[in-house]
Amino acid sequence: MATADKTHPSTADVQRISGPCVWHGNDQRERKDWLRTLSADEIVEIERAVASSQSISIDKISRAAFPLPNLNPALEALRRELIGGRGFALLRGLPVERWSRETTVRAYWGLGLHLGDPVSQNPEGHLLGHVKDIGGDFHDLNSRGGYRSHAALPFHTDIGADLVGLLCLRTAKSGGGSSIVSVAAIYNAMRALRPDLVAELSKPIVRDRRGEVPRGKLPHYSAPVFCLHEGRLTTTFVRRFIDSAPRHEDVPDLTPALNEALDLFESLANQPDLKLGMDFRAGDIQFINNLTLLHARTAFEDFTEPTRKRHLLRLWLAVPDGWPLPEFYYDRFGAVTSTGRPAGMAMAGITPTVPLDNS
């Protein structure tokens, strides 16, 4: 890790971040208030909501059509924690082994509706994503193929949502471990070491769209890694999308200062005292605030039988009353939800769907 350099600007020139979004993994490992196990009665209530909405296609289910009167206070508390607190939670105990795939998807979708509005995750209009190895190429310059592979995924944010949910259907034979880290904690650590590099990451940085280009947009866009906006620190970060942006003729090469800043950012994210590993089990749902946390995954080895392969279901949720967002979030997509939030990968002419699988 870099050491402090007295020739660089004073930390007084760079604002320190405070609040519950600043946390260290070594502290969170000693706590379990971010983990909640669903009770038997709560599972029954979810099953009743699934049954009551059975006649409605999944994409048309509303929050009102999926009533959870007893569980709702806990979900509202979870929602507040995600938006205004530490920014993550693990909900444990969905009986995915005995439920059908459709029941599982309906239950997950209904729980998600109590936190936000699902938005499209890819140009095909999938409102439900499938994180599983179907031969995707992590290095493909014209896709976000990492989540469709068994490769390690370095710390990153997802492309387009306030909240990201990951429901584990099946774990891998080995590997596939999940980690999260507070971007505000990274920011403060970098501020103490190299405030000049904080400033470097606070400038607009060109990102490659990797072939997912909304109508009327360029094949790249710009956004800072650190963005202080209306009292909040937001972030968007996928290193390989920054590294590949200069493949476009109108994008300059990365400067040595920017590369140094990105290297330090990733080094800090991987510090054992900052990051938090999570034990992912079948039936767990990890929810994270995608504006203020990074998440990562180790490489994994799968079982050979298709029915045993590692499989997560992903939701991207827009939060109607979420954080004020800088304009670049809207420029990234070019579409908004009915409540005025970025609408994910909402492509013109594509009808959103909720696929039960993606083989």
Interval 292-337: pLDDT, tens: 999 999 999 999 999 999 999 999 999 999 999 999 888 888 788 8
Q: Which of 87, 82, 28, 20 is nearest to 272 (CA)?
A: 28
Interval 135-169: pLDDT, tens: 766 666 665 567 778 889 999 999 889 999 999 99
Cα–Cα distance measured from residue 156 to residue 294, given in angstroms and rounded to the nearest whole number: 5
Q: Which structural domains are found in the chain, ordered by start?
A: 34-333 (3.60.130.10)
Tokens 């584990």 locate to 168
**Confidence (pLDDT) at 334:** 72
Cα–Cα distance measured from residue 302 to residue 173, given in angstroms and rounded to the nearest whole number: 5
Inter-residue contact 82 to 289 (CB < 8 Å): yes
With bands split at pLDDT 50, 70 and 90, how would you rate the model's confidence at 215?
A: confident
**Confidence (pLDDT) at 149:** 83
CA distances to 122, 236, 308 from 221, rounded to whole Å, are 17, 12, 39
Q: How many other C-beta atoms can be found within 10 angstroms of the C-beta atom of residue 326?
A: 17
Inter-residue contact 301 to 164 (CB < 8 Å): no
Q: What is the mean pLDDT of residues 254-278?
A: 98
Inter-residue contact 121 to 129 (CB < 8 Å): yes
Residue 73's contacts (CB-CB under 8 Å, 6 or more residues apart) are none
The runs of H, that is alpha helices, within 129-275 are 183-193, 195-201, 239-243, 256-269
pTM of the model: 0.93
With bands split at pLDDT 50, 70 and 90, how would you rate the model's confidence at 123?
A: confident
What value does the mean pLDDT of the chain take? 92
Q: How many other C-beta atoms can be found within 10 angstroms of the C-beta atom of residue 316?
A: 29
Inter-residue contact 239 to 156 (CB < 8 Å): yes
In total, the chain counts a number of residues equal to 359
Cα–Cα distance measured from residue 110 to residue 120, given in angstroms and rounded to the nearest whole number: 16
**Confidence (pLDDT) at 333:** 81
